[in-house]
Structures are given as structure tokens and as C-alpha cells.
Amino acid sequence: MDQTITKPRSFQEIILRLQSYWAGQGCAVMQPYDMEVGAGTFHPATTLRSLGSRPWAAAYVQPSRRPTDGRYGENPNRLQHYYQYQVLIKPSPPDLQELYLGSLRAIGIDMTLHDIRFVEDDWESPTLGAWGLGWEVWCDGMEVSQFTYFQQVGGHDCHPVSGELTYGLERLAMYVLGVDHVMDMPYNDPDAPIALKYGDVFRQTEQEYSRWNFDVADTDVLLRHFEEAETECARILDQAEDDPKTGKRIIMAHPAYDQCIKASHIFNLLDARGVISVTERQSYIGRVRALAKRCADAFVMTEAGGYAA
Amino acid sequence: MPDLLIELFSEEIPARMQAKAADDLKSRVTNGLVEAGLTYGGAAAHATPRRLALRVDGLTDRSPDVKEERKGPRVDAPEQAIEGFLRGAGLTRDDLVERDEKKGRVFYAVLDKPGRPAAAIVAEVLEDTIRNFPWPKSMRWGAGSLRWVRPLHRILCVLTREDGSEIVPLDVDGIVSGRTTEGHRFMAPGAFDVTGFDDYEAKLKRAHVVLDAGERAEAIWQDATNQAFASGLEVVEDTGLLAEVAGLVEWPVVLMGEIGTEFLDLPPEVLQTSMKEHQKFFSVRNPKTGRIERFITVANRETADHGATILAGNQKVLSARLSDAKFFWENDLRVAKSDGMTAWTDSLSNVTFHNKLGSQRDRIERIAALARELAPVVGADADLAAQAATVAKADLASEMVYEFPELQGLMGRYYSDASGLPAEVGVACQEHYSPLGPSDDVPSAPVSVTVALADKIDTLTGFWAIDEKPTGSKDPFALRRAALGVIRLVLENGLKVALFPHIKEAMLSSIIAVLRAREEAASKELQDQKAKVSDALSVGLKLDVSTLNLPDRVSLLGSITRDEVRASLIDNESPNVLGFLHDRLKVYLRDQGVRHDVIDACIAMPGNDDLALLVKRAKALQAVLETEDGGNLVQGFKRANNILTQAEDKDGVEYSFGADPKFAEDPTEKALFDALAKAEAKIAPAMQDQDFATAMATMADLRGPVDAFFEAVQVNAESEVLRRNRLNLLSTIRSTCLQVADLTRIEG
């Protein structure tokens, strides 16, 4: 079987193969969340859907932003904007490791030639009040994925447990395609009439955002936005469950969670601007966690969160 | 006598947990079997990334039958009581026997508890072991509630006899026991059955799994050293890494690769740390140059291309990692060379050391001031010591130490040398953290010793000033280690230094730091509140004053005057720090065989903050006490002291002056006067030279005259003149004998 799989030739082909592989395994292929997030885990399809008792299976690409990792497009491996591929299945199926290895085969990794290892790596997100146990998956010594069994999210025990897979797409693709600098990686088919490299698409934006993230972003405005998001999140969740207009019970867990995501990203921007001291860091993280926890509390009281009236 | 084989097959177990998990499996299962009445010949446990296995040989077939007696109510007890007893025991009246006891006839139930077959016991014990396994961290998976370190997939449990083997039936949350296991995930996928341990081990090996971790480690080491040797190189030994790597593979394949030449100029420690921490590579060194030139990685499989793809991939990852390291190294060198590390020391003012003690920068300034004062007694140049203290922690702000904290100090040395600072300063950067433990080397270069001492004393006074002392087993700031460091630095370098004045000085600096940190926190709080107010006003909100948390500056600072600080903290806490050093010194000397009462007797003497002097006293005293004369002298001294103390209490005067040989009546009395005078003539110059051994030996020589005196003479004589003279003579014995140590504290 390994021999019959051809090597992919571009970044987007790897994404397409992952999409079709996980669709074939029965996942709902979702689209990226339309907000700035630090990692695929922040997508409500993971954070919120890992809560409660209802089964769930989703896969999606999530653009992710880590302002402090900006290197003006010059570092071969570091980007402030990059893509994660995220799979979440609840309850975690007993053959999840095998399913995962199948996805590596699908993107052209020949298991008979490579050394795949599951190396202990426990995952914790202090801002989401979440943790799980699992591994980082190594292919020939390189970390190609995170593999986590969620134990707690937003302070709630996960029952059933979700299995989460996160692929760092650029790094994985560079490895599969044999490229040394991310900007040199073929984005679309290298034989296409207009062949584009990753750098053609993203070099300029990396420069622009690096400058803005590090030196230009207005910290006073950001600080105010942080407080506003925090206030709005709390205000949304303080509303009565019953909507006076429709007379229906509508808990607004997702709109509130949007504000939590926003606060989290603003915190990352402030961090990149270097205006958050070590002691303040902890308190900001604590404030975001408090929002995440309230959103989780709200979500488990909704239908999607397993609440039965 | 069957043999038992158990295997718990799961997803990958963290390498660091495997050895203990194997031990726990063995002890929990064997203890459980023995408690249930079985015995066994031997047991051994094994672990691989995907399995824990246990063999128990020569298990008994059944637990023995036992009779159990249960005492019931008296025969004449009310009917309900007897009925209740029968219900509880599940018996009828006919099953009871009557026995005479002191208090009358009593019913007894005799229960026959038949032995149980081994399989039933094994099933029970194994289920209990699985459900209560002491993993450092465990998890749930899927929809179940069972906990294991990672999802548990199979339970293999087989009892093997000469005539065949049987599965021990058990079902733990839907995982049903069997005789099936799996081999290597990639090299031999698929399941197979086994009949017993030998069959299991052999089939595993055919399926590319080496069951025993020790065997895997040994194979890795053998192959690694052979490959290195063949290229004229040697593997840098690292037993921790070897054990970890052996826990990451079931079928170890050793591969040696090259490090890109552009990285060979990095300090060897940087190469080694980066390769070990990130990639779990062994370093391969050229014994002629001492340089790290290659790496060894251990793969988990054989491949058709003999590992070429795997090695190429690993090499690529290594290059990316080392590019980072090289980037840090070159950036750091640029900073170090441009301004002698001041950019780093400046930036440490933004790094909190402890929120009650201010920044790292503040701390460094305290250490530098203290180092300047300590330098003369250590024999270091004061300017050099202060300079070294100022840059010793600068590397904490470097990129390399941010990435690899374990390289602190060492990087400081490289950067100090690169920036052209004196060599002693660089050495001090590296050495001032030492000694880190009881067996760690103690620096001897004067500048290093000075900075190391200042660093540790400042740590002690700082945490004492904020009341963060170690309690019981809790010592989060490693203050015991700091105290032992001070002791070893002083003693092993033979430093003659009275520590107390330095402790007081350091305590004063620490307290000033505490006050300054409080003041800064208070003013920051004020500013925050002010900002909140102006924000609120600027957007036209009504301000709720009750939400403001305005600090009371008066209570923070105003009420404490400098004198009160001195009185309350410096004078109280400084002796406590010295006392803590004495406590650690006791532990340190006890390990060297010095009696605790001997140390106490010496700590009671003045000048006890000079630790070298203190130890010299203690060793002299201990040596004399080990002689017969010495031991007896202490008895004589105590007798003299007791009589004298009683008389002084009774008379309300102190007999300390004016013993006159002309009132001596008895020859032994005269002889004692004589001996004491001669002894004092020898002791005084010895004490002058701090030659405690001679002083103590001379005192020990007094044993004969003192014993003879007590033998022949009644101290409390009728004649008041005689009595007073003799008491004054005893006082001479006392003052003579108390010169080296407080002998009243010697036990026995």
C-alpha cells in the first residue's frame, strides 16, 4: 500500500489530502473560524464541542497567529501567521493512533522508510483552563503532530474524552516536500501556469505584520479592547436565559466565547509589544481563563453542550 | 506449580515512567497474591514503550483451607442477639458450638474457609492492581471511566502448567483478558497468541520487540560505542539519556550522523545540551580535540535503506535546531563584546527575583556590595570581586540561557571572556553557583569564592527578611543548600572570617530591598488606580469609589522607622541566620563523625561565627574526649562545676578570684595548685595561637591532680577560709577548662 501512494507536490495538496482522508474517516470537514486565534484548539469546534456528552467528529484547517514568532519572513521555520490542521473526535475511538498513522500515509510518508515515534508530551492551555495527556509525534526526530486526549476544558472534566490531533502544516509540508525554507515551498502545483511559492503568498504579509506586531500596534487601544472584550463577555453571559423577544431559551455561549477569543489574541499582541511584565502576564492569563471557564459553564447548559431540558 | 504471565498492552507509555511502573506491577501483584495465601518462587517485571509485563514462577495452585472462628453472644443472651449473630455469619443454630469462658458459656461459629484456585486470586489481584495503579499521571479515554497512563488495549493473563496453559478470565471495563499480544507497531503488525513466558519472550523477539529495558540499553550502548570507536571517536556517557532512549524504542537501531561543519565552533556544552534536550541524541567526541563532531540517534526500526532516510531527516532537524543555537550564540557574543554585558545587567532590572525582594538587578547590586566587603578576608581583590559579582548573573538575560537554563554560569564565562573581562571574572561567572550539593566541587579561586559566598549569604538573609524559611521537608528556595554552600566554601578553603558582621550587613541590605519593593508596589497600585479614575472620567462614566483599592501609604511605610527596622529585624533575624548555619554545620559535622554535644559545646563559645575556628575547636575536643584522660577530666570538671555552682547559689556570691596556694593544706591540694599554674602557662600561649589540640591535651593532663584532689579533700570544709579558698580553686579549674569549649554541654 505504501508504494502506491504518490508524493504530494505542493502545500495545498497536502491540505487537500488531509481533508479528503479525514472526510473519509467520517469527520465533518469544517471551515476555519473567522477570528484571530493562537491555535486550532481555540476554534469553538474544538474548545466548546469537546465539552458535554454529545458525540462529535470534525476536521478543519485553522489559520493561527502567534505575534511573538514573527521574523519578517526571514527565518526558515518561524512565522507569526501559519496554519494548523485540527481533528477532534469525541469519544476518542480505540484505533485513533492507527487512524492518525493512516493520515501520514495519505500525505505520502512511507512508513517502511521512516521512524515514527510517540514521545510523551502533556498538553496544557492555561488560558483555556484545559489540559490533556498524549504525545508529540516524531517523524525521524521531527515533531510533526500533537496527539492529545483531552481531560479537562474550561475547568470541566471531559466526559467522554475527545481525541485531538494537531498538525503544524508548514513544518509537516516542508518535511514531506523536502524544502528547507518555508518561503521556498510550492504553494500550488509547481507545474501550474502561475506557480506560486509560499513566499509569493506570505512573505510580504509576514513583514507587514512583524513590524506592526512588534513596533506599531497601539498598546493603549489594545489594552482598551482587552477590557471591552472582557466586559462584553461577562455582559453576554449575564443575560437571562429566556429571550424576551422570541420567548425561547437562548444561552449565548458562542457570542460570549468570541469575546474570550478576542481577549486572548489581544493579550498575545500586547505580549509581542513587550508591555506585559512577568507578574502581569499571570494576571492576564488568569483573566482570559476566567472568561473561558464562564463560556464553558454556559455551553454545557445548551443543547449542543448536552443539556436536556 | 503453575507460572503466571501478565502483560498490559497500551498506547505509548512515557519513557520516564516505565521502570517504576514495572516495579510497581511486580510488587502490587506479588503482594496481593501472598496476602491471598499463595506463594511463589520468583518474579520479574519488564517494560517497553507499549507494554508492562510480569512473570511469576512457581505459584501455588490454591490458597490453603483455613478455619475461622467467630465469637458470638453468650448462650443465655436474648434471642434477638443470637438471631442477629446467625444472620451476620450466614449460619443456622446447628452450626454453632458452645464453649465455657470466664464470663459463662459462649456461642462460637466455626467457619470453614476453603482455599481458592490460583486463577481466581490472580484475576482479583490483577483487576485491583489495574484499577489502583500508582501512575504519576493517569487519564481516561473514549467513553469509559477506567484510568491508565494512556489507553489500555489488552490484558494478557495466562497460567502455564506442564500440561498446557489457561487464560485467567477477567474483564476490566470491557477489556477481556486473553493470551493475545502484538509485536512491533511497524515491523511486525498483527496479533499473536502465547502460552507462557518463554514462548512470549521468543515470539516478541521474532516480532521485533526486545522485552527487557536493560537488554535494550546495553545493545544501544554497545553498538553506539562500537560505531564511534570505528571512526576513532568516543560517545559522551549519559546514563539518564540512555535509560530514556531505551524507553522510547522496542527495537533499537543505532545510527551515527555528522554535525554540519558550520556548527562545530559552538561551545561543546551547547552542542551537547541542544542535541540531548531537543533530539535525545548522544554526543560523539573526538578524544584528541575534545570537540563534539558527530551525533548518535536511536531509531525504532530497521529499514530497507539501512536508516539512510531516517538519518537524513534527523540531520535536517538537528541543523534547524543548531541554527537557532548558533543564532543565539552569535547574537549573545555581539552583545557581550559591544559593552561588556551591561546591556544584560541593565535588562535584569525588569526581571523579578522575588516580588517581595525586587528585581534580579537589585539583588546583583546587593551581592556586589557584599562581595566587596568579603574580598579582603577571602584574599581576593575587592574591585575584581565586585566586578565579577556584577556580571556573574548577566547571562540570565542572554538568549542562550533563556533557551537552555541549565547552561547558566557556563555561558556567562564564555561571554565574559569574549567581552575581554579579566579571566578571574569569567571563572567566577561559572563557579559562583557552586557548590550545588554535598558532593559538588567547591571553588577555590578567591574571586569565585567571594562571589559564591556573597550570593549565598544574600539568599539566606533575603528569604529570612521576608519570612520564607524552610519548614520540615519544604525548602522551595533551597536555603539548606545555600547554607551548606557557605559552610563548605569557608571550611574547604580554610577561610578565617567572622561571618556575623557580614550577615548583619546583608540583612540590612535585604530589609531595605523589602521596603523598596513594598514602596514600588504601593506606588504602582496608586498609579493604576489613578489611571482607572481618569479613564472612567474621560469616557464620562460615573465613578464608583468603593471599587478602588487605594493602598494606605501610611501603614505601609510611615509607621516603620529605620531604627525599628534595625531593632526588629536585623537584631532578631541575623542571629537566626547564624543559628541556621550552625544547624546545617551540625548535620555536616555529624556526617564526619563529630558528636552533636561536642558541636553544641563549641557553638556555645564566643567567636562561633568563625566556622573554621568552630570546627577546629570541635575536632580538638572530640579527639581529647576519645582519650581516657579526656573523658575523665570532663567528669572531674563537672564535679568541680557542680559543687561550685551549688555553693554559689547557696552563698549568693561568685567564687572566681583569689585562690591562694598558701592556704592549701593537703598535698593533693598543693599539687593541684601547682598543676593548674603549670597548665595555664602552657594553655595561654596555645590559646593565643588557637592551638586547641595542645590546650585540650594540657587540660586532659589535669585529670590526675583533679581526681586526686577530690579523692583526698573535702571542699566544704569546716573552716570558712579553707572552704572559700577551695571553692576559688574549683573556679580556677572551671575557668581553665572552659577556655576551648563549654564542657557543661558534654553528655555522659
| Chain A contact for B661 (CB, 8 A cutoff) | no
**To the nearest 5 percent, what fractions of chain B are helix, strand and coil?**
55, 15, 30
Contact residues, chain A, for B351 at CB < 8 Å: 278
Q: Which amino acid is at B17?
A: M
The cell for B156 is: 494478557
The cell for B155 is: 490484558
Does some domain include residue A309? no
Q: Which amino acid is at B727?
A: L
Interface of B with A in 618-657 (CB under 8 A): none
Q: What are the φ and ψ backbone dihedral angles of B741, each rounded to 5 degrees?
A: -155, 160
Q: What are the φ and ψ backbone dihedral angles of B461, each rounded to 5 degrees?
A: -65, -35
- pLDDT tens, B249-301? 999 999 999 999 999 989 999 999 999 988 999 999 999 998 999 999 999 99
Give the DSSP H/E element, type plus range, for residue B698.
helix B692-701
Residues A12 and A148 in one domain: yes
How far is the alpha carbon of B561 from chain A, nearest alpha carbon, in Å?
Answer: 29
Between A186-190, A193-197, B615-619, the lowest mean confidence (pLDDT) is in B615-619
How far is B577 from B591, CA to CA, in rounded Å? 22
The cell for B610 is: 568563625
Predicted local distance difference test score (pLDDT) of residue B532:
66
| Chain A contact for B545 (CB, 8 A cutoff) | no
CB pairs under 8 A between A and B: 102
Between B261-265, B500-504, B571-575, the lowest mean confidence (pLDDT) is in B571-575
Residues A86 and A108 in one domain: yes
Residues A17 and A107 in one domain: yes
Contact residues, chain A, for B317 at CB < 8 Å: 140-142
For a pLDDT cut of 70, what percent of chain A falls above it? 97
How far is A75 from A210, CA to CA, in rounded Å? 12
Architecture of the B616-745 domain: Orthogonal Bundle (1.10)
Q: What are the φ and ψ backbone dihedral angles of B56, each rounded to 5 degrees?
A: -125, 120
Last residue in a domain, options A211, A239, A274? A211
Contact B313 A139 (CB under 8 A): yes
How far is A141 from B102, CA to CA, in rounded Å? 79
- pLDDT tens, A1-18? 444 578 999 999 999 999
Predicted local distance difference test score (pLDDT) of residue B535:
64
DSSP bridge pairs for B96: B109
Predicted local distance difference test score (pLDDT) of residue A22:
98
Residue B520: pLDDT band with limits 50, 70, 90: confident
- pLDDT tens, B321-380? 898 889 889 989 998 998 878 889 888 887 778 878 888 899 999 999 999 999 999 999
Residue A276: closest C-alpha in chain B: B350
Residue A97: closest C-alpha in chain B: B11
Give the DSSP H/E element, type plus range, for residue B270.
helix B268-274
Residue B153: closest C-alpha in chain A: A94
CATH code of A278's domain: 1.20.58.180
| Chain A contact for B12 (CB, 8 A cutoff) | yes
The cell for B646 is: 551549688
User: What DSSP string describes A214-226?
Assistant: IIIS-HHHHHHHH
Contact A278 B352 (CB under 8 A): yes
Residues A96 and A237 in one domain: no
SS3 B504: helix
Q: Which amino acid is at B105?
A: R
Predicted local distance difference test score (pLDDT) of residue B657:
76
Predicted local distance difference test score (pLDDT) of residue B598:
92
- Average pLDDT (A190-213) is 96
Between B374-383, B428-437, B564-573, the lowest mean confidence (pLDDT) is in B564-573
Burial call A237-268: b when 16+ CB within 10 Å, e when fewer: beeeeeeeeeeeeebbbeebbbbbbbbbbbbb
Residue B545: pLDDT band with limits 50, 70, 90: low
A56-65 and A28-29 strand pairing: parallel
Among B14, B49, B303, which Cα is nearest to B184's? B49
Residue B467: pLDDT band with limits 50, 70, 90: confident
Among A4, A6, A8, which Cα is nearest to A16's? A8
- Average pLDDT (A152-171) is 96
* H helical segments located in A244-309: 253-272, 278-299
Residue predicted with more confidence, A230 or B402: A230
Predicted local distance difference test score (pLDDT) of residue B549:
53
Q: Which amino acid is at B596?
A: H
Contact A115 B305 (CB under 8 A): no
Contact A175 B143 (CB under 8 A): no
Among B464, B455, B417, which Cα is nearest to B436's? B455
DSSP bridge pairs for A145: A137, A167
How far is the alpha carbon of A67 from chain B, nearest alpha carbon, in Å?
Answer: 18
Selected for mutation to probe chain B from A79, A140, A148, A281 (highest B CB count within 10 Å) is A140
Contact residues, chain B, for A226 at CB < 8 Å: none
What is the torsion angle, in degrees rounded to the nearest 10, for the CA atoms of residue B298, residue B302, residue B308 and residue B312? -40
Residue A118: closest C-alpha in chain B: B12
Contact A141 B309 (CB under 8 A): no
- pLDDT tens, B625-644? 888 888 888 888 888 888 88
**Which residue's C-alpha cell is 519472550?**
B201
Residue B108, pLDDT > 70, answer yes
Does some domain include residue A41? yes
Give the DSSP H/E element, type plus range, for residue A96.
helix A96-106
Burial call A131-150: b when 16+ CB within 10 Å, e when fewer: bbbbbbbbbbbbbbbbbbbb
Give the DSSP H/E element, type plus range, for residue A138.
strand A130-139
Residues A95 and A161 in one domain: yes
Residue predicted with more confidence, B657 or B516: B516
Instruction: Give me chain A's average pLDDT, please.
Output: 94
Q: Which amino acid is at A186?
A: P
Contact residues, chain A, for B279 at CB < 8 Å: 141
Between A4-18, B464-478, B601-615, the lowest mean confidence (pLDDT) is in B464-478
How far is B656 from B405, CA to CA, in rounded Å? 62
- Strand blocks (E) in B168-291: 171-172, 175-176, 180-182, 191-193, 234-235, 253-258, 282-285
How far is B297 from B242, CA to CA, in rounded Å? 11
**Full domain range(s) for residue A282:** 218-299
Contact A114 B300 (CB under 8 A): no
Contact residues, chain B, for A149 at CB < 8 Å: 139-141, 150-151
Residue B548, pLDDT > 60, answer no
Predicted local distance difference test score (pLDDT) of residue A45:
97
Residues A132 and A250 in one domain: no
User: What DSSP string describes B29-49?
Assistant: HHHHHHHTT---SEEEEEEET
**Which residues does B66 contact at the CB level (< 8 Å), separation at least 6?**
B37, B113, B115
Residue A53: closest C-alpha in chain B: B143
What is the torsion angle, in degrees rounded to the nearest 10, for the CA atoms of residue B594, residue B595, residue B599 and residue B600? 170
How far is the alpha carbon of A42 from chain B, nearest alpha carbon, in Å?
Answer: 21
Instruction: Give me chain B's average pLDDT, please.
Output: 89
Predicted local distance difference test score (pLDDT) of residue B580:
94
Contact residues, chain B, for A114 at CB < 8 Å: 303, 309-310, 313
Residue A107, pLDDT > 70, answer yes
Residue B502, pLDDT > 90, answer yes
Handedness of CA B511, B515, B516, B517 (dihedral sign): positive
**What are the angstrom distances between the C-alpha of A84 and each of A56, A168, A188, B321?**
19, 5, 18, 21
Does some domain include residue A308? no
| Chain A contact for B139 (CB, 8 A cutoff) | yes
- The shortest CB-CB distance from A114 to any of B15, B16, B309 is to B309
Selected for mutation to probe chain B from A88, A120, A179 (highest B CB count within 10 Å) is A120
Could you say which DSSP state residue B63 is in?
P
Residue B100, class by beta-carbon neighbours within 10 Å (0-12 exposed, 13-18 middle, 19+ buried)? exposed
* H helical segments located in B92-182: 118-131
- The shortest CB-CB distance from B142 to any of A113, A140, A160 is to A160
User: What DSSP string describes A232-243?
Assistant: HHHHHHHS-SB-
User: What DSSP string describes B439-483?
Assistant: TSPPP-SHHHHHHHHHHHHHHHHHHHHTT---BTTB-TT-HHHHH
Residue B558: pLDDT band with limits 50, 70, 90: very low
| Chain A contact for B78 (CB, 8 A cutoff) | no
Residue B649, pLDDT > 60, answer yes
**Which residues does B745 contact at the CB level (< 8 Å), separation at least 6?**
B597, B600, B601, B604
| Chain A contact for B137 (CB, 8 A cutoff) | yes
Cα atoms found within 13 Å of the Cα of residue B6, Cβ hemisphere only: 25
Residue B701, pLDDT > 80, answer yes
Residues A264 and A127 in one domain: no
How far is A88 from A158, CA to CA, in rounded Å? 13
Domain residue spans in chain B?
3-62+117-206, 66-113, 213-338, 340-592, 616-745
**Which residues does B480 contact at the CB level (< 8 Å), separation at least 6?**
B470, B584
Cα angle value B345/B364/B510 (rounded, 5°): 145
CB B30 within 8 A of CB B40: yes
DSSP bridge pairs for B180: B193
- pLDDT tens, A281-302? 888 999 999 999 999 999 999 9
Could you say which DSSP state residue A60 is in?
E
Residues A134 and A231 in one domain: no
ipTM reported for the complex, 2 dp: 0.94
DSSP bridge pairs for B298: B254
| Chain A contact for B316 (CB, 8 A cutoff) | yes
Alpha carbon B424 to chain centroid, angstroms: 31
Contact A142 B316 (CB under 8 A): yes
Among B196, B190, B154, which Cα is nearest to B172's? B154
Residues A6 and A90 in one domain: yes
Residues A171 and A78 in one domain: yes
For a pLDDT cut of 90, what percent of chain B falls above it? 57
Residue B555: pLDDT band with limits 50, 70, 90: very low
CATH code of A163's domain: 3.30.930.10
Among B403, B574, B552, B595, which Cα is nearest to B500's? B574
The cell for A276 is: 506585559
How far is the alpha carbon of A61 from chain B, nearest alpha carbon, in Å?
Answer: 24
**What are the angstrom distances between the C-alpha of A207 and each of A289, B125, B474?**
31, 63, 49
Q: Which amino acid is at B218?
A: E
* Tally of domains within chain A: 2
Predicted local distance difference test score (pLDDT) of residue B553:
40
Residue B252: closest C-alpha in chain A: A115
Residues A248 and A105 in one domain: no
Handedness of CA B100, B102, B103, B107 (dihedral sign): negative
How far is the alpha carbon of B181 from chain A, nearest alpha carbon, in Å?
Answer: 16
Could you say which DSSP state residue B716 is in?
S
Last residue in a domain, options A187, A211, A235? A211
Predicted local distance difference test score (pLDDT) of residue B561:
58
Residues A234 and A201 in one domain: no
Last residue in a domain, options A168, A189, A211? A211
Predicted local distance difference test score (pLDDT) of residue B537:
65
Residue B411, pLDDT > 80, answer yes
**Please, what's the largest Cα pairwise distance for chain A?**
63
